[in-house]
């Protein structure tokens, strides 16, 4: 089944998508979720390498299961036990991989690494999280929002916390969706100004808006979606104590939740730290959709794989 109507070659950031191809991907993900049997031969034996230089539960499992469900073969690789871990260049590695497999999903540190791989190889590269972006997570988030409200356009998403990879991908994905994206971060932890600028440009075209604020309550007021992420991301462990202090007052609790609209939903990419960025009452409460969101990684990524490889 042909699913590709545009020339998306990689998924390094959500800027690989247009508003139209994003809608196409969400539509396909919904159909794959409803009718998985229709797509059992979609990848037709294609092989997808999954390379991890950071820990993962959801990304690893949802990609492995997703590739299998589409009739392909996943190959899990741990960065520390490949020759990359001993200094083989990324360019040589991807040239070799391009001879064995049909696509590479990689979770790594510097975002420039996925760009290098995309430039040097001849297979699609999928960003399974870098320090700067987490596009696959946001595809699942947008699917979850769309399923829940019946639309994404015009909805207000408020992200409270670190201006990190999640904030960046939510900015781009929300802007592509015509959403109103508000980010509330403490001083010194704001999202990257160039990504805010790109999201603002995209939002001008789609009818969305982008705002970066300081106060969580200002950002949460009347929001449809409240979103947060850990204070300390993978690779930042030495900053943990300092970050805990800086993020005081940036917890999503029942009071912050209460300032959103009454039918607002709570999302978190997981893993979560109850009592830090979110209270147990909120994440385990009736407005939380975090496990639907985690499930949707599978469906959204299956749609992505089909669009890249069919
Ligand atoms: N949300 C997410 O990417 O989870 P993992 O780190 O478990 O893959
Ligand atoms: N910002 C977090 C997301 C984990 C899925 C990290 O990079 O560790």
Active site residue 134: yes
- Angstrom distance (rounded) from CA 169 to CA 155: 16
- Angstrom distance (rounded) from CA 259 to CA 222: 6
Ligand 1 centroid–CA 166 distance in Å is 11
User: pLDDT per position in the chain (310 positions), as tens?
Assistant: 444 445 799 999 999 999 999 999 999 999 999 999 999 999 999 999 999 999 999 999 999 999 999 999 999 999 999 999 899 999 999 999 999 999 999 999 999 999 999 999 999 999 999 999 999 999 999 999 999 999 999 999 999 999 999 999 999 999 999 999 999 999 999 999 999 999 999 999 999 999 999 999 999 999 999 999 999 999 999 999 999 999 999 999 999 999 999 999 999 999 999 999 999 999 999 999 999 999 999 999 999 999 999 9
Measured from the CB, is residue 230 less than 6 Å from ligand 2? yes
Q: Which ligand is nearest to the CA of 295?
A: 1
What number does the ligand 1 atom closest to the CA of 134 have?
A: 3
Phi, psi for 45 (deg, rounded to 5): 80, 10
Ligand 1 centroid–CA 56 distance in Å is 5
Beta strands in 54-128 (DSSP E): 73-78, 103-107, 125-127
Contact 299, 29 (CB under 8 A): yes
Q: In 10 A of CB 136, how many CB atoms?
A: 25
Active site residue 78: no
What confidence tens digit (pLDDT) does each residue in 198-245 have?
Answer: 999 999 999 999 999 999 999 999 999 999 999 999 999 999 999 999
For atom 1 of ligand 2, which residue has the closest CA?
A: 233
- Angstrom distance (rounded) from CA 29 to CA 293: 13
Report the candidate in 145, 127, 129 with the shortest Cα–Cα distance to residue 292: 145
Q: Specify the CATH class of 19-133+297-309 in words.
A: alpha beta
Active site residue 287: no
Domain ranges (residues) in the chain: 19-133+297-309, 136-293
Contact 65, 89 (CB under 8 A): no
- Angstrom distance (rounded) from CA 190 to CA 173: 18
Helix (H, G, I), strand (E, B) or coil at 212: strand
Ligand 1 centroid–CA 134 distance in Å is 9
For atom 3 of ligand 2, which residue has the closest CA?
A: 233
Helix (H, G, I), strand (E, B) or coil at 210: strand
Contact 69, 43 (CB under 8 A): no
Phi, psi for 106 (deg, rounded to 5): -130, 140
Ligand 2 centroid–CA 173 distance in Å is 17
The 8-class DSSP code of residue 288 comes to B
Domains 19-133+297-309 and 136-293 alike in fold: yes
Active site residue 107: yes
Which numeric CATH code is attached to 136-293? 3.40.50.1370
Token duo for residue 89? 């260049």
What is the value of pTM for the model shown?
A: 0.97
Active-site choice (102, 269, 293, 299): 269
Contact 277, 231 (CB under 8 A): yes
């Amino acid at each position: 089944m042909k699913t590709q109507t545009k020339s998306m070659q990689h998924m390094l950031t959500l800027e690989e998508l247009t508003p139209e191809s994003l809608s196409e991907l969400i539509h396909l993900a919904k159909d794959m979720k409803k009718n998985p049997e229709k797509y059992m031969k979609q990848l037709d034996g294609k092989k997808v390498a999954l390379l991890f230089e950071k820990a993962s539960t959801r990304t690893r499992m949802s990609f492995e299961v997703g590739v299998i469900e589409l009739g392909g073969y996943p190959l899990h690789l741990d960065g520390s036990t490949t020759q990359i871990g001993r200094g083989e260049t990324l360019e040589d590695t991807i040239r070799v991989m391009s001879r064995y497999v049909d696509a590479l999903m990689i979770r790594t540190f510097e975002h420039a690494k996925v760009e290098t791989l995309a430039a040097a190889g001849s297979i699609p590269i999928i960003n399974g999280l870098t320090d700067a972006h987490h596009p696959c997570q946001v595809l699942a988030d947008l699917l979850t929002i769309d399923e829940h409200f019946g639309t994404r356009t015009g909805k207000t998403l408020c992200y409270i916390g670190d201006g990190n990879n999640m904030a960046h991908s939510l900015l781009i994905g929300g802007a592509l969706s015509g959403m109103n994206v508000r980010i509330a971060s403490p001083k010194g932890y704001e999202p990257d100004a160039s990504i805010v600028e790109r999201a603002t440009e995209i939002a001008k075209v789609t009818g969305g808006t982008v705002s970066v604020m300081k106060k969580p309550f200002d950002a949460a007021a009347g929001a449809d979606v409240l979103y947060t992420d850990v204070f300390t991301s993978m690779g930042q462990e030495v900053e943990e104590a300092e970050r805990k202090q800086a993020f005081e007052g940036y917890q999503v609790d029942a009071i912050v939740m209460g300032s959103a609209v009454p039918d607002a939903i709570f999302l978190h990419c997981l893993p979560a730290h109850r009592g830090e960025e979110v209270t147990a009452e909120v994440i385990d409460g009736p407005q939380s959709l975090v496990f639907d969101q985690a499930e949707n990684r599978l469906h959204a990524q299956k749609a992505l794989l089909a669009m890249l490889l069919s």
